[in-house]
């Protein structure tokens, strides 16, 4: 049932290929949109330029027509007496049509009024008259009209050029805004597609692998954004379970069932760093049953295994705090890590264990000079000052244990470097 549910969930999630295909499709649309916007902007700027050119051309044509009217009227005034009425009529008709076109093309009210007045004056001329005294004045008025049109043309062109420059800047700002918007959209899509579905799972994968390499528990898994990531998450979970089982077996001593030396070193380092961060005490007891001897002082050999197991059971029964850590170091030597315990408390605990071992009346072999099993303890306690000096506890406790055995056993001695004063008396149980 669980497998069927997992397969159903995986079928609902898209694959990496689908995510990549979707991401590339969306990202490829953005350049197309940018090209369309750029082309529209270029067309708009071209339209503005064409409008400005057309306006300039119209103004130039109006100015040229005014100049031609001036020249035509001056020429007609000079040749009026020598022209026949019919020729005069042709000239007047041509000048009237040109004046009408000029009047229609003007937008300025004053210039348009002056052009209309000239048009009426032209229409009022009689080709049958022998003299045309008004033509020189009309030519002068046409010249003034041309000058006025020229000034208007220049001012209008300056204004149009200024407006065209403003429009170009507006288009540039609009294009820059669209570019920034497309950039923001592309970054958002890139994060949504690549970051959320690829980069973040890889970072989570690296974090999980680091925790696995440090043999630490993993709190959160990978975010199932696609089928491949979900499969990796399930494989990592199975790998974590397998490593946890193998690590638990590898850190257990096969003879005693206690933690072995490797687990002791790892735990001692962790507690040393914890005490270093909090400025707390850390104590270590090295415990070992005393060597068995015959009445003549001849060694009897190692402690029988059943007796050693009874000592271990006794220690496990009375070292029941949550932070107590009991491990088998070597042969018949045990270690007890006391976290958050100062020297005075460690000495009391060591004396208690020595007394409990003596009171348990664990029998020794028949040939032993001492009928009961006794315990020697080496005590070391420090407030850590350096992150790399954790093994000094083992060295100090080892030295204290050797001294306790040398003084006859059945006692707990404190390492000299752990005492506030090196000349202070040594704790002893007899």
The whole model's pTM is what?
0.46
Q: Which residue has the higher pLDDT, 417 or 195?
A: 195
pLDDT level of residue 252 (50, 70, 90 thresholds): confident
Distance from chain centroid for Cα 141? 78
CA distance 381 to 396: 9
The pLDDT value given to residue 423: 36
CA distance 125 to 127: 6
The pLDDT value given to residue 9: 45
Question: Which of 268, 264, 220, 253 lies closest to 382, judged by CA?
Answer: 268
Distance from chain centroid for Cα 253? 45
Distance from chain centroid for Cα 213? 24
Q: What is the DSSP string of 179-203?
A: HHHHHHHHHHHHIIIIIIIIIHHHH
Of 40-54, 169-183, 194-208, the one with minimum mean pLDDT is 194-208
Please give the C-alpha separations between residue 256 and each of 308, 313, 328, in angstroms, as whole numbers. 9, 10, 7
The pLDDT value given to residue 112: 82
15-30 burial, b if ≥16 CB within 10 A, otherwise e?
Answer: eeeebbeebeeeeeee
Q: What is the mean pLDDT of residues 41-52?
A: 76
The pLDDT value given to residue 219: 43
Please list, in sequence order, all residues whose beta carbon lies within 8 angstroms of the beta carbon of residue 366, skipping any fewer than 6 positions away: none
Q: Which residue has the higher pLDDT, 251 or 332?
A: 332
């Amino acid at each position: 049932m669980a497998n069927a549910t997992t397969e159903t969930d995986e079928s609902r999630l898209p694959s990496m290929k689908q995510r990549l295909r979707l991401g590339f499709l969306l990202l490829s649309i953005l350049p197309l949109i940018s090209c369309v916007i750029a082309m529209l902007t270029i067309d708009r700027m071209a339209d503005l330029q064409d409008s400005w050119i057309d306006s300039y051309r119209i103004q130039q044509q109006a100015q040229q027509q005014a100049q031609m009217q001036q020249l035509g009227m001056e020429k007609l005034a000079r040749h009026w007496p020598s022209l026949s009425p019919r020729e005069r009529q042709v000239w007047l008709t041509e000048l009237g049509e040109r004046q009408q076109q000029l009047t229609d093309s003007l937008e300025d009210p004053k210039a348009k009024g002056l052009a209309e007045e000239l048009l009426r004056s032209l229409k009022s001329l009689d080709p049958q008259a022998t003299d045309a005294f008004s033509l020189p004045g009309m030519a002068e008025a046409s010249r003034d009209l041309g000058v006025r049109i020229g000034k208007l043309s220049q001012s209008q062109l300056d204004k149009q050029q200024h407006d065209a420059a403003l429009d170009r800047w507006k288009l540039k700002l609009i294009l820059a805004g669209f570019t920034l918007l497309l950039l923001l959209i592309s970054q958002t899509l890139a994060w949504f597609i690549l970051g959320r579905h690829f980069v973040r799972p890889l970072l989570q994968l690296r974090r999980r692998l680091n925790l696995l390499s440090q043999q630490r528990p993993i709190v959160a898994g990978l975010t199932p954004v696609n089928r491949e990531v979900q499969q990796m998450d399930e494989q990592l979970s199975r790998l974590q379970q397998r490593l946890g089982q193998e690590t638990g077996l590898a850190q257990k001593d096969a003879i005693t069932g206690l933690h072995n030396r490797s687990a002791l070193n790892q735990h001692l380092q962790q507690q040393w760093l914890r005490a270093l961060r909090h400025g707390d005490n850390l104590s270590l007891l090295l415990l070992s049953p005393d060597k068995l001897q015959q009445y003549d002082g001849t060694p009897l050999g190692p402690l029988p295994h059943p007796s050693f197991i009874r000592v271990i059971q006794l220690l496990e029964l009375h070292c029941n705090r949550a932070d107590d850590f009991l491990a088998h170091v070597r042969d018949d030597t045990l270690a007890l890590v006391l976290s958050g315990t100062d020297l005075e408390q460690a000495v009391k605990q060591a004396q208690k264990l020595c007394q409990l071992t003596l009171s348990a009346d664990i029998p020794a072999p028949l040939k032993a000079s001492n009928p009961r099993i006794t315990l020697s303890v080496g005590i070391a306690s420090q407030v850590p000052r350096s992150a790399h000096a954790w093994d000094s506890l083992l060295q100090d406790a080892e030295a204290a244990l050797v001294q306790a055995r040398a003084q006859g056993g059945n006692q707990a001695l404190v390492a000299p470097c752990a005492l506030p004063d090196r000349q202070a008396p040594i704790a002893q149980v007899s």
